[in-house]
Structure 1
Amino acid sequence: MTNAVSTDMAAYYAQRDNFDEEDIENPEGMAALDEIMEKLEESLAGQRVLELACGDGYWTDELAGFADYVLATDINPGLLEIARSRELPPEVVEFVVADAMDPQVEGSFNACFAGFWWSHVRRQDQADVIARLRKVIGKDGLLVLVDNSWLEGRTAIARTDADGNTWQIHAAPDGQRYEIVKNYPTDSALRKRLGPLLRDMRIHRYDHYWMLTGRLR
């Protein structure tokens, strides 16, 4: 173990075998999460979905219940093995190793979903990421993002960089400390960044989460 702080986000998440503790299973936000699940089904039912950064398959498990097809991707093979252990229907769900920042995947998709991942994309990289997704999903493809909202007095930020990205410090199970980018965009910031790249954009704001839907221009 080293006392140095690492910025290798993939290495940090490779050590975490689930995301429930920090990202999802917040008892105070469960009612909002139920509503998000309903909206997710409304948006993605019957769709062919590319899922980015699926992690341990929490969201994949939900998508499998109503999507026509899901290609669940993650950069960490170990996390994909955990996701595969959910034994989701193979005719609906497939798993493949891929970098969410530039998913080099094959297949026909009309939608893309990412849960608790967009906050890790640096502001200066966001337009390029959307451009790469458009090459995979195609024009008019549906983009659905779900992520954490800022909680006043409870969200801990270590620093803000020159580009406006906020960073947090997390400790992995082995004690290694990691500095991870974790942005909490306002509605106006989302519209400013993504408005020129999406049409029919809708933002649903909750106390603990936000959800965005839009079609790629």
Structure 2
Amino acid sequence: MIKPVNTDMAEYYAVRNNFDEEDIENPDGADALDDIMDNLRTLMTDQHVLELACGDGYWTDELAEYAASVLATDINPSLLEQAKTRELPEDVVQFAVADAMDPKVEGEFTACFAGFWWSHVRRQDQAEVIARIRKIIGENGLLVLVDNAQVDTEKTVIARTDLEGNTYQIHAAPNGERYEILKNYYTNSTLRKRLGPLLKDMRVHHSEHYWMLTARLR
């Protein structure tokens, strides 16, 4: 009997052990990633940042170098424990368990950042998610999103598309269990069409492997 594919995306990210390798450190996109890092430093220097879906702290490590403060959140306590092993400065970085889809956090923030998370937000939920972020960050707050562009490889094969246009991939965890993962890919024009009405001063930098969106919350 074939075991059903697991659809618990949070569980998948909790049990896998190659976060940086799989999602971020693509040698073919190294130059583009360097550009993103440079832009992120310019944007986030001296900002009070709410980071959503921080995972094992890859981006938190970067933000800690120049942000005034960072509250790094994730739905998985185990991933936060991994992030804490980076021994980031406690006077800058704090951690909290929170669902990025509906972050219930306290604090005063000037910016929100999410790396490789927006692709996991269902298309029909995006307006509501932006509204929740705006409620926390406030009008004119800075929003920065970074995610994967679609490149034709074995890792980017789409297994199915639902009625709302959301696309899904099948990934295997280290224990061999198969998971169905929501993974939406966007072009420059699609990002502008979908998020333009929700944001202002929006800019999208698109490379072959990554895209970076910066905007102000309306």
Moved over 4 A (4+): none
1:203 is matched with 204
Shift of 1:152: 3.4
Superposed CA offset, 1:106-129 (max 9, x none): 000010000000000010010000
Q: TM-score, normalised by structure 2?
A: 0.97
Structure 1 residue 123 and structure 2 residue 123: aligned?
Answer: yes
Task: Answer yes or no: is the 8 Å Cα contact 1:169–1:177 preserved in 2.
Answer: yes
Question: Distance between the aligned counterparts of 2:145 and 2:196, measured in 1?
Answer: 14
1:216 is matched with 217
Task: Answer yes or no: is the 8 Å Cα contact 2:17–2:174 preserved in 1.
Answer: no
Task: Answer yes or no: is the 8 Å Cα contact 2:134–2:217 preserved in 1.
Answer: yes
Task: Answer yes or no: is the 8 Å Cα contact 1:51–1:72 preserved in 2.
Answer: yes
Superposed CA offset, 1:187-212 (max 9, x none): 11111111011100000011110000
Q: Percent identity?
A: 71
Q: What is the aligned-residue RMSD (CA, Å)?
A: 1.1
Gaps of 5+ in 2: none
Structure 1 residue 50 and structure 2 residue 47: aligned?
Answer: no
2:158 is matched with 157
1:61 is matched with 61
Q: 2:211 is matched by which residue type in structure 1?
A: W
Task: Answer yes or no: is the 8 Å Cα contact 1:201–1:215 preserved in 2.
Answer: yes
Shift of 1:164: 0.6
Three-state SS of the structure 2 residue aligned to 1:89 is: coil
Question: Distance between the aligned counterparts of 1:165 and 1:182, measured in 2?
Answer: 7
Question: Distance between the aligned counterparts of 1:75 and 1:174, measured in 2?
Answer: 21
Gaps of 5+ in 1: none
What aligned pairs does 1:1-217 form with structure 2 within 5 A after superposition? 3-152=3-152, 155-217=156-218
Question: Distance between the aligned counterparts of 2:99 and 2:16, measured in 1?
Answer: 18
Change in 2 beyond 3 A, CA 1:27/1:141? same
Question: Distance between the aligned counterparts of 1:69 and 1:18, measured in 2?
Answer: 27
Three-state SS of the structure 2 residue aligned to 1:78 is: helix
